[in-house]
Chains A and B, each alone.
Chain A
Amino acid sequence: MQTFFLSLILISGLLFFPSIDARALGTIGIIKSVSGEVHLINATSTIKALANMKLNQGDSIRTGPNSNVGLIFDDDTVVSLGSNSEMSITEFLFHPAAQELSFVATLITGTFSFISGQIAKLAPDKITLETPDATLGVRGTKFLVKID
């Protein structure tokens, strides 16, 4: 009987606390600002990017000529893309309580600026940025990348 009540308590606990994430929001960040022609691409569609749209794992973002975009991720990483640039977000996990942290992205072409966020502080080895030429490892910092 005691075991029964104990499991009941445990089960209700699970029901009530399905997520202990820092942000139980389902998305991984937002588009903060857009200038010119910018597109947000996921597995099923390509849409015109607008300020305050949500970002998800697997999204790509592409800027046209004289166009640029600023992004904010849930771990406070901020990223911007200059003209004719493209980046795809392979994986982004920010659940510090569960120690699930990861930021894997591919920088395909163009210019980028970054200020790394909490993942770079908590688990710098979990950040991987791939370019056509190299793999970048990041330790808490602001930096620029150009691929041409």
Chain B
Amino acid sequence: MIVTQWFNQRIFFIFITLIFAISGCAKQTTVVLLPDPDGKLGEVTVTSDGGSIAICHALEATTVKGRQGTPTTPKIISAAAIQKDFAEALAILPEQPVHFILYFQRDSNKLTPASKTRILDVLATAEKRNSKDIIVIGHTDTAGNPRYNLRLSQNRAKAIAKILVSKGVERQHIQTTSHGEMNPLIPTKDNVHEPKNRRVEVVVR
């Protein structure tokens, strides 16, 4: 009985090896281009030892078999073919993170009136995405000394985290970090008041 089993396994193994030998153990890579979420089209270049091909039209695909192979001429494939191979992967592909910029009053951790309302959008987005990962990054303009501005940017980030927590976001889902005056949105010389640089960036993932 055991011998038969062993023999069967052996036959199976030889059979599989033969299949690989006949097919040249060929792996192949297929690449398909899709429109971006905003409808734009980019480009993917597929390069093997046998050549290089760019795909740049919607639903265009190319296949290359082995490193020595040449990528096939791009060909439009059907939506059904895409569904067949990629339905699973596409279903779980996360939406890209959403970025918000909240502006502050001069030399203060108080939001501007417009940005106070914008917080509601942050909360709505976090809820919709079921986000457990919100990044809060504090910034200042270059007016004042860098040490003071680092503290100010920390206070701004903390103020936003506090508001989010008060609206029901769990504190452990928020990561805060602060860049002081080192990462301006609008690059300026030192000691320049720039409202667009007095900000906190919130990334909802």
Q: Which residues of A contact B (CB under 8 A)?
A: 12-13, 16-17, 20, 22-25, 30, 32-33, 35, 51-52, 68-72, 76, 78-83, 85, 97, 107, 109, 111-113, 115-117, 120, 131-148
Is B14 an interface residue, CB under 8 A from the partner? no
Q: A133-B69, A144-B34 are in contact. List 19 more A-B contacts (CB 8 A).
A: A23-B135, A30-B205, A68-B89, A71-B94, A80-B90, A97-B183, A109-B27, A132-B29, A133-B28, A136-B46, A137-B45, A138-B42, A141-B33, A141-B40, A141-B41, A144-B32, A144-B90, A145-B31, A148-B27
Q: Is the beta-carbon distance between B146 and A22 smaller than 8 angstroms?
A: no
Judging by beta carbons under 8 Å apart, are A72 and B135 in contact? no
Residue interface bits B30-63, CB-to-A below 8 A is 1, else 0: 1111111100111111111000000000000000
CB neighbours (8 Å) of B69 from chain A are 133
State the CA gap A76–B64 with chains docked (Å).
28
Cross-interface CB contact of A113 among B30, B35, B86, B133, cutoff 8 Å: B86
Mark B residues whose CB is within 8 Å of A: 27-37, 40-48, 64-67, 69, 71, 82, 85-86, 88-97, 132-133, 135, 137, 146-147, 150, 175, 177, 179-180, 182-183, 205
Query: Of all chain A residues, which has the CB nearest B61?
Result: A144
Nearest CB to that of B179 among chain A residues?
A: A20
Q: Within the assembled complex, what's the spacing in Å between the Cα atoms of A35 and B33?
A: 25
Complex CA distance for A115 and B41, rounded to whole angstroms = 11
Point out the residue from B28, B180, B182 that lies within 8 Å of A148, measured CB to CB. Answer: B28
Distance between Cα atoms of A111 and B46 in the complex (Å): 16
B41, B48, B86, B205: which contacts A144 (Cβ < 8 A)?
Answer: B86
User: In the bound complex, do residue A113 and residue B44 qualify as a contact, i.e. CB atoms below 8 Å apart?
Assistant: no
Contact status A69-B88, CB under 8 Å: no
Q: Which of A68, A72, A145 contacts B205 (CB 8 A)?
A: A72
A136 and B44 in contact (CB under 8 A), knowing A72-B94, A72-B97, A148-B27?
A: yes
Q: Known: A25-B175, A133-B66. Is A76-B96 also a contact (CB below 8 A)?
A: yes
Which residues of B sit under 8 angstroms from A107, Cβ to Cβ? 29
A80 touches B137 (CB 8 A): no
Cα A12 to Cα B47 with chains together (Å)? 49
CB atoms of A115 and B93 under 8 A apart? yes
**Are A131 and B43 interface neighbours, CB within 8 A?**
no
Known: A23-B177, A68-B92. A143 touches B183 (CB 8 A): no
Known: A80-B92, A113-B93, A146-B30. Contact between A25 and B42, CB under 8 A? no
